[in-house]
Amino acid sequence: MPVFKTPFNGYSVKFSPFYENRLAVATAQNFGILGNGRLHVLDLSADPSLPIGELAAYDTADGIYDVSWSESHDSIVIAAVADGSVKLYDLALPPTSNPIRSFQEHTREVHSADYNPVRRDSFLSSSWDDTVKLWTLDRPTSVRTFKEHAYCVYSAVWNPRHADVFASASGDCTLRVWDVREPGSTMILPGHEFEILACDWNKYDECVIATASVDKSVKVWDVRNYRVPLSVLNGHGYAVRKVKFSPHVRNLMVSCSYDMTVCVWDFMVEDALVSRYDHHTEFAVGVDMSVLVEGLMASTGWDELVYVWQHGTDPRAP
């Protein structure tokens, strides 16, 4: 399957919810420590033997750590930037008109962005300034700031069924569940002994959520009874950087790790590891599963490569 080489280190990859052949990639120079960033929008060819094409690329003065597609406009993509800004790009406009917005409120690096898939009118950003912010496209300032975490918030993700509910994963070793109609978090889950780097909701059961941690594990929880995890997935050799539930199969999920692998799991069976892909030669830090094409996966990492492949095939196969 095709591979795309990025000039900088890959940080995040997301499939478009509108076009089955399109994906966005967030990258940062010098492993995100210091330097520029670039947002790539890529188009896959109908012929897998042909190379991946670049539809657009946007440069930033600082690294880009995450990217999220708009759920309401097929041409809009959101970038989480290391200078504390959240930038909006519109592929329908010329490069000189972009970014169309730059929201500058976070006081430290923005590490994640997530667009509301239910209401489709708002998005979240999470930052190393320990906060999560709620934004709409039309307001110049954030709607609200959620400040309870005691350390960096690495990820904030909307619930796929409930328009007002989201979860946040933090370096303070907790996962928090929030309802934007409530003044504070509605649940605090001390999920790991070490930093939690990512979280994701199950797409078929709105009460099931997964956490990925520096402790090398992925844990799956039911928020109705979270004293004991539903499942603990051990198999990565280093910190687990991202976790994503399948949009098509209830029990299937994917994770990527500093051990340079991408793992697919079935969290409901005892021998949970379904596949391990070791195509990256540096930290694997971004992974996604296509909503529109069942089994289509993408990953990126610090080896400056973006892989797109069908689950069950070799990502490096020509």
Low-confidence stretches of the chain (pLDDT beneath 70): none
pTM for this prediction = 0.97
Per DSSP, the three-state class of 30 is helix
Identify residue 257 by its one-letter amino acid code.
Answer: S
Q: Which two tokens stand for residue 239?
A: 């910190």
How many structural domains does the chain have? 1
304 φ/ψ sector (left φ>0, alpha ψ -120 to 50, else beta):
left
Contact predicate 264/311, CB 8 Å: yes
Report how far residue 42's alpha carbon sits from residue 24's, in angstroms, rounded to the nearest whole number. 6
Backbone angles phi, psi at 279, to 5 degrees: -80, -20
What pLDDT shows up at residue 1? 77
Q: For the domain that residue 155 is a member of, what is the CATH number?
A: 2.130.10.10
Q: Does a structural domain hold residue 315?
A: no
Please tell me the predicted confidence (pLDDT) of residue 2: 84
Is 318 part of a structural domain of the chain? no
Q: Is residue 110 part of a domain?
A: yes
Residue 55 Cα to chain centre, angstroms: 21
d(CA 18, CA 24): 12
pLDDT of residue 318: 79
Domain of 78, in residue numbers: 3-310
Task: Name the residue among 273, 196, 195 with its Cα closest to residue 233.
Answer: 273
pLDDT at position 15 is: 98
Summarize pLDDT for 123-139 with one digit per residue, the tens.
Answer: 999 999 999 999 999 99
